[in-house]
Each structure stands twice: as C-alpha cells, then as structure tokens.
Amino acid sequence: MGFDEDQALETYKSMISVGTEALKALQLINGGAIVALLAYIGQSSERPQLAALATKPLSLFLGGLVAATLAFLGTYLTQFTLLNEFFKGPSLRGPKHMTWLLTTIVITLASLVLFACGAFAAVAALGHP
C-alpha cells in the first residue's frame, strides 16, 4: 500500500473508533442519569412523591439508553452492508450502507435529545422552589 492508502485506512479506523466512543458516551450519560436519579430517590425521605415525579425523566433516560444501544446495531449493519457492497457490487439487493448510516445518525441524535429532555424533565419535576 502507498502512503495515501495507508492514511485513508488509518483515518477510516479512527473514524470508527471515535464513533464507537461517542455511542459509549451516550450509553454512559443516559445510564448514569438513571442510576443517579434512582439513588437520589432512594436517599430521600419523600420517596413515594419523588418516585411519581421521576417517572417521566426516567422514561426519557431509558429511551436514550435504548436508542444508544440500537445505534450500535446500526453501526454493525452499516459496516456489514458496506463490506457486502464492496464484494458484491451492484448485484447487492436491499438497503445500501448510506441508508443504515443515516438511520444510525438519526437514532444517535435521538439518544442525545432524549437525554437532554430527561435532564430538563428531572430538573422541572424534582427542583425545589
């Protein structure tokens, strides 16, 4: 391989690595928010009231966690389809890799939006005047 091909390969590998770390971060912030919220409720003397108020934020964080996990499936399907496109060429049937890539990007952004909505919902529901 020439220098340009080596550089392209290393860039491709680093892009996959950065994407993987971003998805891990989304899982971490959504999962961490769930744990933190449950710990906060568990330590409070007003558990029953807070538990009722925390339903919406917990649901949003859980949705964000599920979306981030589904995005990993999307990355697999993107890479699998890209590999098949490379070897089979135009004879490949079904969705192309760009379809999977755009779907994965939308799911990833949904995870981030769900986290933000969950954070705002938690502050609104549990904030004390």
pLDDT in tens, 21-38: 999 999 999 999 999 999
Higher-pLDDT residue of 55 and 129 is: 55
pLDDT band at 1 (very low <50, low <70, confident <90, very high): low
Q: How far apart are CA 8 and CA 30, in angstroms?
A: 33
Q: How far apart are CA 99 and CA 30, in angstroms?
A: 26
Burial (CB < 10 A; 0-12, 13-18, 19+), residue 90, is: exposed
Give this prediction's pTM: 0.88
pLDDT of residue 45: 85
pLDDT in tens, 74-122: 999 999 999 888 888 878 888 889 999 999 999 999 999 999 999 999 9
Give the total residue count for the chain. Answer: 129
Q: How far apart are CA 76 and CA 84, in angstroms?
A: 12
Q: How far apart are CA 61 and CA 58, in angstroms?
A: 5
